[in-house]
Structure formats: structure tokens, C-alpha cells
A and B are shown apart, each in its own frame.
Chain A
Amino acid sequence: MKTLAFSFLLLFCILPASFIIAQKQYALPRADVQNLEGQTISTGTFSNAGKPMIVNFWATWCKPCIAELSAIHEEYETWVEETGVKLVAISIDDQRNVDKVAPFVNGRGWNYEVYCDPNGNFKRAMSVNTVPHTFLVDGQGNIVWQHNAYNPGDEEHLFEMIEKLAAGKSLDSK
């Protein structure tokens, strides 16, 4: 009986309450990650000089993640030119693959700023369940949009959001 009551509490009170209270915009949380040289860096230093920033969680073993980053790679130069956006890729690979991340990224010719989060510090701080998970951060360092999973074509929608953000429009505007 007790367990039943508790599950009802979870499903009907705490869950909806959590959805309501979660702010639409919030600041990028701080956690320690590693750059590709193995140096510890705080995510508090992430910035793109007032321009929009994409924070993308991925892993070398995640096929949809690679598909997403490869698709963005084809358009990236245009995106940067038009909006000044920067993509920060956070690999959640653990120690088994951490040393393979730099060869993996360079082997594909990606121009992203890449960090490793081998024990999930930043992943937990950002409440990421599964990869890929993409966040859009505005020029003030606030998370303004996020999306989980990737299917071919999703990057077009992401770019629309970036364009609106770069033009100072509301993300809900048409």
C-alpha cells in the first residue's frame, strides 16, 4: 500500500511539479571536464563572445551522435559564417575510449571544440539521460533550447533556432 501511495505521489505530484518549476532558461552549470590534452577545464569558462553556442553530448560508440555531428560538419562553415555559432562537443566516453576521442574527432576532420566527460560530471549537472542531447546556449550563457535524439534532418531545425537566436528573435517566433 505504502509503495503504491509513493508511486502515485511520484507520478501525479512531484513529476508535474518538477516540469512546472523547471525554468525555460537557466545558466549553463559548472562542472569539471577534460580537454583533448587531458587538462581539467571548468565548464564555467565556456563562452562564445556573446554569440550563440551549441553544447552537444555524444560518444564514439553512439551511431546517431556520429550521424548528427557528421551532418553538422558538412554545414558548419556556413553556420559559423552566418551566425557566429560555436559547437562544443562533450564526449561522454568513459576511460575505455577517452584516449581514442582525439584520433576519432581528427580522423573525421571535425572542427568542433571537443571535451571529455569520462565520469559524467557535466552530464549529471546537465541532467542528460541519453546521447545525443543537444543544448542551445545564448550569448549570455543561458540554455534556451534543448533536444534529445537525432534523426537525419534534425540539424535543419537546429539551424533555424540558431538563426533566430543570432537575430535576437524569440525562439517561438515563426
Chain B
Amino acid sequence: MKNAILGFGLLGFSSILCAQTNPDYGEIHGNVGIDAQYYLDDPAINTQPVPDIFRANSFLNLVYTRGNFRAGLRYEAYMPKPLLGFPTAFEGHGIPFRYAAYTLGRLDITAGNFYEQFGNGLILRSYEERALGFDNALDGIRLKYQPVNGIRLTGFIARQRFYWQFSPGNIKGFDAEITLREVFPKVDWKNWNLIVGGSFVSRYQPGQEISNPDNPANLLELPLNVGSFSGRFNIGCEGFKLNAEYAYKINDPNALNTFIYKPGTAAYLSAAYSTKGLGISLQAKRVENFDFRSDRNAQGNDLLLNFIPMLNKQHTYALPASIYPYAVQANSELGWQADVNFTTPKWLKKKYATTVNLNFSMVSALDTTRTGDRYGYTSSAFDFGKSYYMDANIEIQQPLGKKTKLSLMYMYLWQNQRLVQGQGTTEDNLIAAHIAVVDATWKLAKKHTVRFEVQHLATPALQNPLNTLVNGSWAMGLVEYNFNPVFFASAMNQWNYGNPEEKKQIHYPTAMVGVTLKTTRIAIGYGRQREGIICIGGVCRQVPASNGLTFSLMSSF
């Protein structure tokens, strides 16, 4: 700890001295954020007693650059405890992220922490999603080298961040990417662009004693090194683009696949076409036994090494995004998505063009047969098993004049909730919901705008819901006032009016006021937070119900 403080101080103050006296000594920048909440008791929404009623999550990032040298660190503090819903293992404070890097011609060297993604992320993606308390940063040495233009090689050896500790597994990774047009510039490629790539990631983790689930008297023979490989290509020509990747992982008995020895596979395919005014894309994926982590025993969001992209629309309106969200099933998924965007053409002579987005997605489990041996099961290549999720939606944006803008959305959602939340298949909670959203912005006068949102989710109440506080239909309303570019105020209410139990027809009001001063945003709010699952960018976490005052400050400099 002392070292951390010392390092922090030194970096901070030496750069103060340097940066102020002469710009040639380099530049320092960063960002900072504080999210705090004062918790109140609210039995109606099932709040749990909170011993530390005032909590704050804070961070400060500093980035220093001078010529080809750069260094940075992040201080994080979760005091006295992390906000409710964040992993409790974050409790404390310190500098979990620090690095120094240097670029030497075609070689780039990073020592310390770094984030990295190989290809589409199927075998490696290290990243941070601060709003979820997710950070799987790597810590080690990374080299990036470009022997000639168009060939990029990346290699690293590292361990992964695990809250304030490190993963038990050591990770090695290598990736090569070749852009043919750059390597052979003399060839006449016309408008063709072909990029090929391949990567390898391996985990070394010491053995441990785990008894064989089929024969508890015997111990499992665990692989110490687990390797995964992937190959990809990307072809583009005049608005067409095809992106494909296939990944394979050798046997990796782990907690989430119940310690079976079956190898894992993942395939991702995307085809897109677009021209001015029209864009179409189709994606498909098949994922089998592909949960890859830097610890064979890790669960939840801990120590993930790879990223399986979700193939459904990333909703942002509150009811579609948060009442019945979907979560990736890395052990068994077969799904596809179609997405169309278009704008009404000019020859229609409409004064204000209409923009339309159509999206359809469905995801199922693989069709599998249990074998009872150490490989667990066999699966059919392209047959759909039990359905997880289906979503069909349309979104229309239409300016009604210089001062009024209107967005409309309709969505049909279907979900096997118990299966998606990993709570077995015996008693299926099948959800079918119709959701409608109206979102209108009205410019009152120069600098003054008002925005309204009305949302409705219609679904029959269930006999045996997973959460009795989320059952039946919902209504939501929001009003927001902005005085540009400085001040904003908003009030919102969500209401589970369709809940069959009358005392659970609860309102969740929230109100917020804040100021934005260039790149600093300060907001104070009060409200009720519904118990549920929050998902951002494909990762979800469970948040408990809460009621209280919130304060947030975000700034970059």
C-alpha cells in the first residue's frame, strides 16, 4: 500500500512540475468519477438492511505521454464498501491498474496493465465496463510488432486482474493479422479488401484435487495447459462486408461445464451490405462449451478471458432493456439476427426524412444428447434445441418540424426466463411481451428543450414468477428539461400496475438534477431502484433493490 501511495504521489507531482514548466516535458490527462449513494430503508421493495448507509465508488485515471513514451495509472476506491450490486470483493482502495509503454519504430512494448482484443474477441477480450464493476485487465508484458506494413503481430504473457488480486492462471497469447492490400500494394485490388488473422491463447493453471463427479472416489486428471485457437477473415467490396471467425478450445473441465472433457467451439459469421440510405446486416453464431476463464473454478463475471457477442439489439429504453434482458449462454447457443436501416429517399420530397430500423433476433440452445461419459454430451451441428429468446422490433424516427422530433418503437419479446437465468428447465417461465415506446423532444426556445417518454410493457401475470416484484404489465413515464448546455432535470416513474398482488403494484419514482460544465457532469438524484438484472455490452449483474439519495460526478481533463 505504501508503495502504491508513493508511486501515485511521485507520478502525480513530478508531472505537475514537468507539465507546468515546459510542454516538452510531456502531457498529462485523465478522468475522474465518483458515484455515491445514501441508502434508505424501504420494506415495500425488499431492501436489505445496509450497515454502511453511505457508500461511494470512485476512480481517477491519469495518462502521461511524452513523445513515444506513455504511462498511466488508475486509482480506485470503494469506501467504506462498494455500492450495492457491485461485487463485495471490490471493498478497499488502491491502484489496480498501472503501466508504462514505449513505441520504438515498428515495435510497441507495454509493461504492466493493458487491455486487448484478438479478432472478434472469441478467444480473448480484456476490457473494462465500469458501470458494471467489470474489469478483467491483463497484467504482464505485451509486444506489438509490424515487420512490414499490413502485418501486425501481438504477443503477451500476463495474469488477469481479480478484484485486488490476480488470477491463478497464467495467460499467454499471440495474434497475427494480415491486410493483403497493404502487404502487396502493387497488386490491383480494385475495391477489394481482404484481411486474414489467426490467434492462440493458452492458460496455465496448477493442478488441484477435484473429485470425479461420476466416481467420487477418484480425482479428475486436470489439464494444466488449456489452449485455444482461432482463425478469421474479413472480405469487403463496395458496400459488402463478410466477417467470419472460427475458434476451438481443447478440453477445459471447469465449474461451468460441470468438469467435462469435451472440446469447445465457437463460430461467428456476419454479412452486411450498405449504400447511401440503406443498410442491411445478417449475423449468425454457434457456441458450444466455450466459457473460457483464467481460473477453471471461476463463475459469474469473474476472470472471463473471452467475449461471446450477443446477437440481439442493444436496447436502451428502460422497459425493453431492463425488465426481461437476455444474457449470453457461453456453453450452448445457436442464434441469428437480421437488422435493416433505411431513410426515406429525397425523391419522395418529404420535408423531413423518416429513419427506420427493423431488427429480428432469435437464440436457442444447441440440440444435445447426454452421453454419460466424460465428454458430457454430443450435439447436432445446426439443429435448434430449446429456445432462449426472440425479439422482433421496429423503431421509427421522424422530425415533425424544426422544433419537434418524434421516435416510436414497438417490440415483441419472447423469453424462456428460467433457462436464460440458468435456473433449470423443469418449470419453464415463458415470457411473451408487447412493448411500445413514444419518445418526443420539443425545443421550447433557443437553449430550452423538453423531452417526454412514455413506455408500456404488456404481458400476462405468471402463476410462479422468478421474482414476484416483476410480474405482469408495466407502465413508465419520463420528463426531462434541459437548459443548454448547462443544466438538466428529469423525473421518471416505473409502475408494475399489472402485478396480481395488489401490494406489489409498486411505483419506482426517481428524480435527478444536474449540471454539465464542458466535460464535468455533476448530478444529484433521489429514487427507488428496482431489484433486477442490469446488462451493459453483453455482461449482466444482479442488483438488489435500493432506495436513497445518489450523487455522481464525472469529469475528464
Contact = CB atoms under 8 A, between A and B. Distances in A.
A105 B276 CA distance: 9
Contacts of B182: 39
B29 interface: yes
A119 B118 CA distance: 10
A128 to B, nearest CB: 7
13 contacts: A7-B77, A10-B58, A36-B241, A100-B339, A103-B274, A103-B341, A107-B357, A119-B117, A120-B115, A121-B115, A127-B31, A130-B521, A152-B443
A3 B77 contact: yes
A157 interface: yes
Interface residues of B, number: 99
B537 A105 contact: no
A99 B274 contact: no
B441 A152 contact: yes
Contact of B80 (A3, A14, A38, A94): A3
B314 A97 contact: yes
B405 A67 contact: yes
Interface string A77-104: 0000000000000000011110110111
B60 A29 contact: no
Contact of B241 (A37, A107, A109): A37
B430 interface: no
What are the 10 tightest A-B residue pairs by CB atom distance, in nearest-first order?
A103-B279, A107-B341, A107-B279, A106-B274, A22-B557, A99-B270, A119-B117, A38-B234, A127-B556, A127-B31
B239 A99 contact: no
A106 to B, nearest CB: 4
Contacts of A22: 28-30, 557
A6 B12 CA distance: 15
Interface stretch (A45-53, A55-63, A162-170): A55-63
Interface string B6-27: 0010001101100110010001
A118 B27 CA distance: 25
Given A6-B77, A38-B195, 4 more contacts: A21-B19, A61-B314, A97-B314, A129-B556
A107 B179 CA distance: 27
Contacts of B343: 107-109
B177 A3 contact: no
B309 to A, nearest CB: 4
Given A38-B241, A103-B273, A96 B488 contact: no
A23 interface: yes
Interface residues of A, number: 63
Nearest to A121: B115
B27 A129 contact: no
Interface stretch (B120-128, B247-255, B292-300, B502-510): B120-128
A128 B117 contact: no
A107 B396 CA distance: 13
Contacts of B8: 14
Contact of B27 (A26, A30, A121): A26
B369 interface: no
Contacts of B234: 37-38
Contact of B554 (A38, A62, A124, A129): A129
A107 B273 CA distance: 10
Interface string B56-80: 0010111101000000000101011
Contact of A96 (B20, B60, B278, B314): B314
B322 interface: no
Interface in B168-214: 177, 179, 181-182, 193, 195
Interface residue SS majority, chain B: strand
Interface string B33-54: 1000000000000000000000
Contacts of B115: 119-121, 124
Given A105-B279, A153-B447, A127 B63 contact: yes
B275 interface: yes
B557 A19 contact: yes
Interface of A: 3, 6-7, 10, 14-15, 17-23, 26-27, 29-30, 36-40, 60-63, 66-67, 70, 94-97, 99-100, 102-109, 118-121, 124-125, 127-130, 133, 146-149, 151-154, 157
Contact of A94 (B309, B342, B353): B309
Interface in B103-133: 103, 115-117, 120-121, 125, 127-128
Contacts of A17: 12-13, 16
B538 interface: yes
B75 to A, nearest CB: 7
Contacts of B307: 94-95
A7 B79 contact: yes
Contacts of B518: 146-148
A62 B332 CA distance: 30
B281 interface: yes
Contact of B316 (A6, A30, A63, A119): A63
B545 interface: no
Given A7-B79, A15-B32, A40 B152 contact: yes
B120 A106 contact: no
A100 B557 contact: no
Contacts of A21: 15-16, 19-20, 28
Contacts of B311: 96
A130 B554 contact: yes
Given A127-B63, A153-B443, A99 B179 contact: no
B239 A106 contact: yes
B33 A129 contact: yes
B272 A108 contact: no
